[in-house]
Amino acid sequence: MSLQINTNVAALNAQRNLAGTNRRLGGIFEKLSSGMRINRAADDAAGLAISEKMRAQIRGMQQGQRNAQDGVSMLQTTEGALNEVHNTLQRIRELSVEAGNTTLSASDRQAIGEEMLALRTEIDNIGNRTRFNGQQLLTGALAVTLDSANSTADTVTYANGGATTSVSSIDVSRADAGETYTFSAAGAVLTLTHDDGNGYVRTETATVQAMGASGSQSVIFEELGVTLNLAHDANAANHTGANLANALDTTTIVTGGSGNATFRVGAEVGDDISVAFQDMRSSALGNASKLDTLIPDNDAVSTGAKADTLLASVDAAMAQVSLFRAKLGAVQNQMDTAVNSLAVSVENLSASESRIRDADIAEVSSKMISQQIMQQAGVAVLAQANTAPQAVLSLLRGG
């Protein structure tokens, strides 16, 4: 056996193994102190990439939950204001019924008119001051509307055989605001095209059905958010779907408004819930005759006939408010369901991400004990290796 002084191979080997043990022990301490199995990409490159995608989903869903909760608060604010509008309309209706009685004098009717005028003004005040985070909720500002002045499809009629089918209404509440939609026809198939002007063109088709006396139908373009309502008069003459579609060929729908309220209730683009906030002021409430025109002053019920006309308009206004409140309630329930669904998804994704990223403390603790023993053994072996060259001194002393 040869003896060397300049190069202690045994000590170098012990140092190398001890350095490896110290490095592994340092990694174990890092995992125990952070609670994470993956603290850097080198710990598990693939696991890091997978867990980061999961984290993005989890955080996006958690923000979606908060968005939905904010949306519920916004809907509750709106619904609370509409409750007062409903109460006010109930009082106006009560006064309209009272005004239908011939026992009232002219001054009595003016007194009733004064209260009605005040109530109508308060409906407008509620509509103008109901806001959430600065946004008006009951003025129709958060809605998509039909721009009748620039649209051509809303006035289309088809006459044949002594009967007429016409466009009774167009619902654009789910369409994009400030856009133009164009119809084209091929037989009974009607195509609606939307070109945003930036090279993005969307088309959707629907088939128009034949119509007879007093018939009606809705031609729905679900993806584009447009519904075309057609109505046939009472005259007995059938109109084919191809003829009705051809009457709409090349006509346009132009939308206005600032756009519906949209609540992002998920982690991805398109995870949205949209709702149109309607105008609930007196100028938009009622039948063909709106409340603001029927109650311009205290002479609103100066005659029984005026009272009857106002009563019919108030009934229509109450139906409008009830329908809008029902829509808000349905959307609120939808959001509550979305929040619950997101909570389940966050829980499951968090569990999956934890299995990839979090440290198993029991396992890491066991490894720590093992590495600590290896460290102590390595230090002892290194000490022995460092003393091995001293055997050379014995040979020198013996000489």
Tens digit of each residue's pLDDT (9 = 90 or more) over 212-225: 999 999 999 999 99
SS3 (DSSP) at 351: helix
Give the whole-angstrom CA distance, residue 226 versus residue 102: 48
Whether residue 306 is predicted with pLDDT greater than 90 in this model: the reply is yes
Query: Could you tell me the end-to-end alpha-carbon distance of the chain, in angstroms, rounded to an integer?
Result: 19
Query: What is the domain partition of the chain in residue ranges?
Result: 9-35+359-398, 144-259
Of 132, 140, 138, 144, nearest to 86 by C-alpha is: 138
State how far Cα 181 lies from the chain centre: 24
Contacts 24+ apart (CB under 8 A), 305-314: 306/99, 307/96, 307/97, 307/99, 307/100, 308/100, 310/92, 310/96, 310/99, 310/116, 311/93, 311/96, 311/97, 311/100, 312/287, 313/285, 313/286, 313/287, 313/289, 314/89, 314/92, 314/93, 314/96, 314/286
- Contact at 8 Å (CB) between 276 and 248? no
Would you mind telling me the total number of residues written for the chain in this entry?
Answer: 399
Q: What is the pLDDT of residues 86-120, one digit of tens each?
A: 999 999 999 999 999 999 999 999 999 999 999 99
Q: What pTM did the predictor assign?
A: 0.74
pLDDT at 398: 66
With cut-offs at 50, 70 and 90, classify the pLDDT of residue 364. confident
DSSP at 192: E
> Which burial class, exposed, middle or buried, applies to 255 when counting CB atoms under 10 A from its CB (0-12, 13-18, 19+)?
buried
Mean pLDDT, range 112-138, rounded to an integer = 95
Lowest-pLDDT range, 39-43, 88-92, 296-300, 372-376?
A: 39-43
Tell me the torsion sign for CA atoms 33, 37, 40, 42: positive
Residue 35: pLDDT band (50, 70, 90) is confident
What local confidence, expressed as pLDDT, does residue 57 receive? 94
d(CA 131, CA 74): 9
Q: Cα(341)–Cα(398) distance, rounded to whole angstroms?
A: 87
The average pLDDT across 147-170 equals 95
Mean pLDDT of the chain: 92
Query: What six digits make up the tokens of 209?
Result: 């059905």
User: Is it the case that residue 399 has pLDDT exceeding 70?
Assistant: no
Q: What is the pLDDT of residue 1?
A: 56
The answer to whether 335 and 263 are in contact (CB under 8 A) is: yes
Q: What is the pLDDT of residues 224-234, one digit of tens each?
A: 999 999 999 99
Check residue 388 and give its pLDDT.
80
| Structure tokens that stand for 251 in this block | 């006509």
Q: Which of 116, 113, 94, 117 is nearest to 105 (CA)?
A: 113
**10-33: average pLDDT:** 89
Q: What is the mean pLDDT of residues 23-27?
A: 88
pLDDT, tens digit, for every residue of 170-195? 999 888 888 999 999 999 999 999 99
